[in-house]
Structure formats: C-alpha cells, structure tokens
Amino acid sequence: MAKIPELRTLVFNACLLAASSLIVTGCASIMATAGNTLAGNLSTAILNQDDPELVRDGAPAYLLLLDSFVAGSPYNQSALSAAANLYAAYGVVFVDDPDRARKLTLRARSYGRRSLCVADQKACDIWELTYADFVIALQGLDKKDVAALYTFGVSWIAYVQAHSEDWVALAKLPQVQATMQRVQEIDPQYQQSNVEHFLALLDTIRPPALGGNFEAGIAHYRRAISLSGGKDLSIKVDCARYYARTLYDRELHDRLLNEVLSADPVHEGFTLFNTLAQKEAQELLDSADDYF
C-alpha cells in the first residue's frame, strides 16, 4: 500500500482554526475571562503570522498550556478538542523528527477520541469498529456532536500522516473519509471550505483501486476554493499537487501555482497558511520540468 502524501498545510489550517474557536468559546470553566481573551488573541496572532519559524519556536508553550487545561478538566470536550487540534497541527507541520511527530500525533488522536467520547458516549470506541459498522455508528451522531466529530477526523488524519509507514493506519482512511462526509451531512455549514478540502484530498491522494475518485475530487476542490473566497491558497496548491500532477495536466498545474504566487498572502486568519502555501507552490513549479 502506498504512503499517504503530505497534507501538512491543510491539517494545520483545519486544526488551528478549530482550536481557536474552541478555546475562545469553550473553556470558560477552566479559564477566567482574561485568560479566554489571551488564548483567543494568541490563536489569532498565530493565524496571522507571516514567519512560520516564529510559530515553530513558540507553539510548544501553547501545547503545554492546553495540556494544563485538560489536566484541570479532563472531561471538558472543548479543552480536549483544542488540545487535539493543536497537537495535530504542530506534529504534522513543524516537527521534522518522524519519531517525535508520531508521538505528538498519537497524543492528538487520543485527545480527539476522548473529546468525541465526552461529546457522545455512543461514540466511545467507534474507531475499533469495522468500516461497515463504523458508518452505521456515525448515523447515531447529530448536530451537537459535529465539532467533536470534526476534530476526531482531523486528528485521525494527522495521525495517519505521521504513521504513513503503518499499513494498519493507512487502511483506516475510508473511515476518515466517512467521518468528514458525516460532518458535512450533519451540518453543511460547519468548517465548509476545510471539509470540502479534506474530501477533495481524500478523493485524489489515492488511486481509484484504493478508493480515489478524481471526478468527485475536482468538484470538491472547486467548491473549497469558492467557499474560502479564494483566500486559502493551500487549496490551489493541493489541487495542483494531487489532481493536476496525477493526471499530468501541466497547464492546470502551472496556472494554479502561478495564481498562488501572484496572490496577496495576507488575509485575516490565513496569512500563515498562505505563506506556507506560496513556498510549496514555488517548490512544485521548480520541479515541474522534471515531473512532467
């Protein structure tokens, strides 16, 4: 079975956005109002930072802060989800040591599972089910569970990314896809562009024999770009990398990447993602002659 391609920017994007809202709205029982304001401002500062290395150096302190929130309130769903999101984001984007990335994303997955279990006891141990039973169990979740279910899915795909040598982990990708599809079914408005982006990737990172669907994938990419208002440049980078390259569509590949490079990366909530995306776009263009 082939390794899963890197999904680093999307995982970071999805995780940090989710964690930002969860910390601000869900941790009142753990933090005073001033603390909530600090956490919200810190998340916003990370999202709007144009220096990824500064985030790499500063984020570990934030992770320890989240660990302390969970230790103080181990059944607080919002605290667990925020911790899952941030550990997943940091583990797949800023950690180069594979062993350390596996350790961090294992913790992310654990927090994500605990969050889902707290949100709905029917979902405890859902990840141990066969695919068919897993899909049936997802139908028992509803709108009150959507935030935890989304975090569960994102932390799981981060875990798979870091454990890409593990065939058992890779075999669970259909469950990850079913999770994101269920999020969309429950609440089509929830994290719209990120859910569409995930579904696009899950349809295009695998060949058809392993569940890939490129026709559905390009439709998801287009919707994701539209829903983000074109502000999230990582969507176009991933469309070029996983869709255009796989189909050897050089014209689409170069057009998308040049659009990314010519765009203004500074947008509220997207500056860090876009800075990373533009670096990746240049690397893909630089290697295009060898690839095509």
Longest dimension (CA), the chain: 56
pLDDT value at residue 81: 87
Q: What angle do CA 247, 253, 255 make, to 5 degrees?
A: 145
Are the C-beta atoms of residues 198 and 14 closer than 8 Å to each other? Answer: yes
- Identify the CATH assignment for 1-190 out of 3.30.70.20, 1.25.40.920, 2.40.50.90, 1.20.1250.20: 1.25.40.920
Quote the pTM value.
0.84
For the four alpha carbons of 32, 36, 39 and 42, in that order, the dihedral sign comes to: negative
Q: What is the pLDDT of residue 43?
A: 62
pLDDT the model gives residue 186: 97
Q: In a structure prediction context, what are the per-residue pLDDT tens digits for the chain, which is 292 residues long?
A: 344 555 555 555 555 555 544 444 444 444 434 444 444 556 667 777 788 888 888 888 888 888 988 898 899 888 898 889 889 888 988 888 999 999 999 999 999 999 999 999 999 999 999 999 999 999 999 999 999 999 999 999 899 888 988 888 888 999 999 999 999 999 999 999 999 999 998 899 887 777 789 999 999 999 999 999 999 999 999 999 999 999 999 999 999 999 999 999 999 888 988 999 999 999 999 999 999 9
Phi-psi region at 229: left, alpha or beta (left = phi > 0; alpha = psi -120 to 50): left
